[in-house]
Amino acid sequence: MNVKGAKGKILRFIISFAAIGLIVYFMRDKLHDSMAILRHEVVWGWFAAAIAIYFVALAVLAIRLKWVFRVQDVRMTFQECYHLGFVALFYNLMLPSSVGGDVAKAVYAYKHSGKKIESATSIMLDRMLGFVALIIMAGIGMMCFRKEAESPYIDYAVYGAFGVLVFVIAFFTSRRFARLFKGLGHFIPNEKWKMQLAEVYHAIYGYRHHQGPVLMAILLSFLGQAVFIVGNYWISLSIGADINFWKFFILIPVISIVSMAPSIGGLGVREASVLYLFSRYLPAERALALTLLMDVMIYSFSFGSGIWYAFRGGLKKKELDEMEMMQSPEE
């Protein structure tokens, strides 16, 4: 790992554990009550239903990835795409490495198909389409519940993410707009990386000629995110939270957006955002219990993904080194 990568990893650790430390400090008087709620009040039937529907959401996203792969002629079955979703969960949440789930998915897709650029651009577009659904759902939810969920932090998160989305769409659909930033290429010291980034750009730009599969992938993004939201709503029901179902269509997308901040797979920033947003509708101790229960589900899936991953060959140091090198602009 280069110096820049090491600094980035240290920064993510600092942000995550600082956020957790602040949560523990400010909620120290509520921890006992929150644990009592988890021990005695959870309706585990609702929680089991949430786990079951999480599998459904991952299946929807696997179908989306399969559609995106199809444009680049990366031939992967539904089962293989579904497996990639679990691999990404493991890398994002359980592995103390600079390698993210998207990089892992791209590398495994490349090894399966032999198409490096096509695999990487497909994974990038798949992530972008999920981001599109998140932003639109958060924006619609904010307009519908602006008075009830009024908060400058929510506004900043949604508007900021929307601005990023507009920029990315303009950049990858208009070569004239992209040329405005051609000078930034001088900050990329490696010619090999310049060539690869140019290939990635042209590959993503080419998706504008495949509107059918892209539209289908966007629709699947909305469906997948909606299923995830239902799962989180059922988790809230498991602790007796009385929150309007439709409010989850702004709260959960905003939490997902905030969780993209530099951290260890969203650790700390995700919990802080859940606690902050849901404390507006629940007593602090119940909001903390909800936060912990959401973490139980998320990390249970990640741990289970690691077990599945181990049975299917597991992590090899050589593969991890390759993935970390793939992220380094000095390679």
**235 or 103, greater pLDDT:** 235
Q: CA-CA distances (angstroms) from residue 205 to 64, 124, 216, 311?
A: 19, 12, 17, 38
The reported pLDDT for the residue numbered 331 is 42
The reported pLDDT for the residue numbered 317 is 54
Candidates 46, 100, 105; CA nearest to 80 is 105
Region class of 266: left (phi > 0), else alpha (psi between -120 and 50), else beta: left
Q: Express each pLDDT in 158-199 by its tens digit.
A: 778 788 888 888 888 888 888 888 777 776 766 776 776 777
User: Quick check: 237 pLDDT over 90?
Assistant: yes
In this structure, what DSSP letter does residue 114 have? S
The reported pLDDT for the residue numbered 152 is 65
Burial of 288 (0-12, 13-18, 19+ CB in 10 A): buried
> Could you count the other beta carbons within 10 Å of the beta carbon of residue 266?
21
Q: Express each pLDDT in 116-125 by its tens digit.
A: 888 888 888 8
> Could you count the other beta carbons within 10 Å of the beta carbon of residue 113?
18
Tokens 């530099």: give the residue. Answer: 262
Rounded to two decimals, what is the model's pTM? 0.83
CA distance 118 to 124: 10
In sequence order, what are the residues at sequence separation of 6 or more whose Cβ sits closer than 8 angstroms to the Cβ of residue 120? Answer: 106, 110, 200
The mean pLDDT value of the chain amounts to: 82
The reported pLDDT for the residue numbered 60 is 96
